[in-house]
Amino acid sequence: MQRVLELMVRSLYLPVFLLVGNGVAVFWISEGLPKVWLIVWMFVFIGLSFLAEKLVPYDVVFNRPVGDRARDICHAIINESLTVVGLWILPVISGSVTVISFWPNDWPLALQLVLAIFIADVGISLAHYASHRMRFLWKLHAVHHSVKRMYGFNGLMKHPLHQLIETTAGVTPLLLIGASSEVMALLAVAVVLQLLLQHSNVAYYVGPLKFILAINGVHRFHHLNTAEEGDVNFGLFTTLTDHLLGTWHYDNRSIGSRDLGISSDPDYPVNYLPQLVQPFRYKQ
C-alpha cells in the first residue's frame, strides 16, 4: 500500500499542481465566485506540499528545520499578505494603466491565463537574471539564496522589496495591454503554485518536461552555493528564457544541504528581521 501511495504521489504531484490547482481556480473565477476562495485554495496546496514532502522526499534532510521554520513562516505571511493586497488593488488600477487595449478578452479564461503566464514568465525571469548581475538587486535577492534546504514553503521566502520588483517586471506588460483583474488574480495563484513546485522536496516524476518547465529538479542547480554553478536556470514557469540566454543547465548529480546557501557569505543572517535589513548594511 505504501509503495502504491508513493507511486501516486510521484506521478500525480506535478499534474495536480499545474492542472487541478490552476484549473479549479479558473473555474471558480469564471463562475463568479469571490476571489477570497483563491486565497483558501493556495493554503490547501501549501498543506498538500508539506504532506507530499513527508511521503516522498527528494532528501529527508530538507524536511528537518534548521532554525528557519519561524523565519519562513514570517516570509510567507508578509509576502502573501502583500499578494492579497495586490488582488484587491488590481481591479482599481488595471483599467487606468492600459496603454493599448490589446488583450484577447474574448478567449476562454484558461487560455488567457496561459498567455499571461508566458508573458509574465519572461519579465520575471529577466528581473531574476538582472538580480544576479546588479549589486543592489543581488543584495535583495540574496535573502532567497541564503536557504540551506529546499522545500516547497521556502519558495515563498523572499525579501518583500525583491518580490515587488519581480512582480512589477511580470505584471506591468499585462497591465499595459489591458489584462483583466480576473486574469491577474489567477496569475497570482499560478505563481504561488509554481513556487511551491519549483522548490519542492517531493521526488516527483518530470521526464523530458525538465527541458521546458522550471521545476524543482532544474531549479536546485540555481541554488548551488557558488556563483559559477548557481548562475543558471532563472525561469519561474518555463525554461524558455534560459534557453534563449544560454543559462539552462541540468545534470544527474544529487544536491544536498552542503551544496546550498551563499559560499561568499556563509554567516548570512538566518532570522527574519536581520534578513530584512541585511541588504541595506554597508559591506566593503
| Tens-place pLDDT, residues 219-234 | 999 999 987 777 999 9
pLDDT at residue 92, rounded to an integer: 62
pLDDT score of 145 more than 80? yes
Mean pLDDT of the chain: 92
pLDDT score of 35 more than 90? no
Is residue 121 within 8 Å of residue 236, measured between CB atoms? yes
Q: How many CA atoms lie within 13 A of 280 on its CB side?
A: 8
Cell numbers that stand for 138 in this block: 543581488
Task: List Cβ neighbours of 45 (8 Å cut-off, separation of 6 or more).
Answer: 17, 21, 192, 193, 196
Contacts 24+ apart (CB under 8 A), 225-231: 225/259, 225/260, 225/261, 225/262, 225/263, 226/263, 227/132, 227/264, 230/145, 231/132
pLDDT score of 284 more than 50? no
pLDDT at residue 90, rounded to an integer: 65
pLDDT score of 6 more than 80? yes
- Percent of the chain having pLDDT more than 90? 81
Task: List Cβ neighbours of 28 (8 Å cut-off, separation of 6 or more).
Answer: 37, 38, 41
First CA to last CA across the chain, in angstroms? 57
pLDDT at residue 139, rounded to an integer: 95
Burial 73-94 (b: 16+ CB within 10 A, else e): ebbbebbbeebeebbeebeeeb
DSSP state of 226: S
